[in-house]
């Protein structure tokens, strides 16, 4: 992985016509050149190029394969983004270029920007995303005289639409090509499966024919054995007759014996031939059984091949349907972009100027009005131009200060009653600090004198030895100590 010093060394090889920023992929910081950054001057358009360089891999993800956007906010606070199309990847690092749009440098001041790398599926749902922190660059003051003819935000908007459409169309074409290749592969696989099924059927037919031939040969061998056995029986009968006649004629007996011996030999040969034929018949029967098994297996494989061929045919149909759907979506998106581009009527200073220039619009027509800094649409039902986002007039609403005065006037400190708490007033002997603390003031207090009906304060009288109840003069409420 390249270090920051290595990235700085590589930076010197770039063209002097480009600004170069370095990105620390871990700290997410965009490092600007030491001499400072001037992104452009008011009125510039697509002439300023900013090259970003950073390490290619981040925690196993190849950032050079991500889609990249530069999100920026100009000095007026208006936000937009630029889709990167120019990328260069090396072994460990990669770089990409931001071509600065006119709306980014339309007002002098500071432009804020971040780098956003992301991946998305075919439905546009973001799967992975990587962001940097804020970077800043300056826009210098310029001087333009043809204000009305200068519409950088509209031109950039249409350019972005064209760029987005190009990217989307490329993605759709890639998907359609993939679907077409998948369909062709499925078709080829189906054809191969069909050929295999035909070959398996032919092999099964040949095996069945061989089995039939083997069975026929076995039947012939069995018939020959039976004929030989009959001949052997006849020869034995003849030998018996010759033996009976031998007693009558010795010559005839000798001849008959010779004939009997020949017949016996022939019978033995026939018996041997019959055994051989039986063995061949058994071998043929085994071969016929094996052929039948092979024919059954071939038939099973032929059925499997037909099933796979049917599945491939279904997959090919699904691929074709997906390709048609993608084509329809691409056409719909292109039609929408074409409608937006063709419906644009221009930039006008006021609503009156717009209505005078285009008194009768059609559905889909739109324009920008400078006095409201908003987009206006043609309303066919009202037959008039209307602002796409109506503004709310708050001039008749009271301000915060006015609301405060109203509350003071209409919500005074009410007096408390027996049924209602009301406002709280500070009475005598109490004070309130600035922080709202309630305090009681210190006051002198004298004990009340005791009477016959009230206890009052308690006083301690002087002690005496000659205190007599009912005789001595006592002070009301006083306590006396009697001691000896």
Q: Which pair of tokens denotes residue 148?
A: 């009305």
Neighbour count for residue 105 (Cβ, 10 Å): 29
Highest mean pLDDT: which of 76-80, 199-203, 224-228? 76-80
Long-range (24+ apart) CB contacts under 8 A made by 320-324 are 320/179, 320/183, 322/175, 322/179, 323/175, 323/176, 323/179, 323/180, 323/183
Return the SS3 of 343: helix
Among 86, 107, 104, 111, which Cα is nearest to 32's?
111
Cα–Cα distance for residue pair 202/181, rounded to 1 Å: 32
Q: What are phi and psi of 132, to 5 degrees?
A: -95, 170
Cα–Cα distance for residue pair 319/180, rounded to 1 Å: 7
In three-state form (DSSP H/G/I as H, E/B as E, the rest C), the secondary structure along 227-266 is HHHHHHHHHHHHHHHHHHHHCCCHHHHHHHHHHHHHHHHH
For 269-307, write each residue's pLDDT tens digit: 756 765 665 567 567 667 667 766 876 777 788 778 778
pLDDT > 70: what percent of the chain?
Answer: 55
Q: Which residue has the higher pLDDT, 158 or 125?
A: 125
Cα–Cα distance for residue pair 330/336, rounded to 1 Å: 10
The separation between CA 205 and the C-alpha centre of its own chain, rounded to angstroms, equals 54
- Global pTM reads 0.36
For 133-183, write each residue's pLDDT tens digit: 999 999 999 987 665 444 555 555 555 666 666 666 666 566 667 666 766
Judge whether residue 422 has pLDDT over 70.
Answer: no
Q: Which pair of tokens denotes residue 1?
A: 């992985």
Confidence category of residue 203, pLDDT binned at 50, 70, 90: low
The pLDDT value recorded for residue 204 is: 53
Exposed, middle or buried by CB within 10 Å (0-12, 13-18, 19+), for 197? buried
Judge whether residue 126 has pLDDT over 60.
Answer: yes
The alpha carbons of the chain give a radius of gyration, in whole angstroms, of 57
The pLDDT value recorded for residue 302 is: 73
For range 436-452, the mean pLDDT: 72
Highest mean pLDDT: which of 168-177, 232-241, 253-262? 168-177
The pLDDT value recorded for residue 218 is: 47
The pLDDT value recorded for residue 228 is: 46
For 396-410, write each residue's pLDDT tens digit: 778 888 887 777 776
Q: What is the mean pLDDT of the chain?
A: 75
């Amino acid at each position: 992985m390249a270090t920051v010093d290595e990235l700085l060394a590589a930076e010197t090889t770039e063209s002097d016509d480009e600004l170069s920023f370095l990105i620390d992929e871990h700290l997410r910081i965009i490092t600007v050149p030491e001499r400072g950054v001037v992104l452009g001057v008011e009125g510039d358009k697509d002439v300023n190029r900013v090259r970003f360089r950073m390490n290619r891999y981040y925690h196993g993800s190849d950032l050079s394969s991500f889609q990249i956007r530069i999100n920026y906010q100009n000095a007026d606070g208006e936000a937009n983004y630029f889709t990167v199309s120019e990328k260069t990847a090396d072994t460990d690092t990669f770089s990409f270029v931001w071509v600065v749009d006119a709306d980014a440098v339309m007002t002098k001041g500071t432009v804020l920007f971040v780098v956003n790398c992301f991946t998305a599926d075919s439905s546009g749902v973001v799967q992975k995303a990587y962001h940097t922190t804020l970077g800043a660059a300056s826009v210098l003051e310029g001087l333009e005289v043809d204000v009305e003819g200068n519409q950088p935000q509209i031109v950039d908007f249409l350019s972005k639409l064209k760029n987005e459409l190009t990217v989307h169309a490329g993605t759709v074409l890639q998907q359609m090509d993939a679907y077409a290749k998948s369909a062709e592969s499925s078709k080829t696989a189906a054809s191969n499966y069909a050929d295999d099924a035909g070959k398996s059927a032919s092999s099964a037919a040949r095996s069945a024919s061989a089995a039939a031939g083997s069975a026929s040969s076995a039947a012939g061998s069995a018939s020959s054995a039976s004929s030989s056995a009959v001949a052997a029986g006849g020869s034995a009968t003849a030998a018996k007759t010759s033996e009976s006649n031998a007693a009558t004629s010795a010559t005839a007996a000798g001849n008959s014996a010779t004939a009997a011996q020949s017949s016996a030999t022939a019978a033995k040969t026939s018996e041997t031939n019959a055994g051989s034929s039986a063995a061949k018949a058994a071998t043929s029967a085994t071969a016929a059984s094996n052929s039948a098994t092979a024919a059954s297996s071939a038939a099973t494989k032929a059925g499997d091949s037909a099933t796979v061929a049917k599945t491939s045919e279904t997959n090919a149909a699904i691929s074709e349907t997906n390709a048609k759907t993608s084509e329809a979506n691409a056409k719909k998106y292109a039609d929408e972009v074409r409608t937006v581009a063709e419906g644009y009527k221009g930039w006008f200073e006021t609503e009156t100027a717009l209505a005078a220039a285009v008194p009768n619009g059609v559905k889909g027509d739109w324009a920008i009005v400078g006095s409201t800094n908003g987009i206006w649409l043609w309303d066919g039902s009202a037959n008039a131009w209307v602002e796409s986002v109506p503004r709310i007039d708050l001039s008749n609403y009271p301000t915060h200060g006015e609301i405060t005065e109203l509350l003071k006037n209409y919500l005074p400190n009410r007096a408390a009653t027996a049924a209602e708490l009301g406002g709280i007033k500070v009475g005598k002997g109490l004070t309130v600090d600035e922080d709202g603390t309630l305090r009681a003031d210190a006051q002198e207090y004298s004990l009340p004198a005791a009477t016959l009906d009230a206890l009052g304060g308690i006083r301690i009288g002087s002690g005496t030895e000659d205190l007599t109840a009912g005789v001595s003069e006592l002070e009301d409420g006083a306590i006396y100590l009697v001691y000896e």
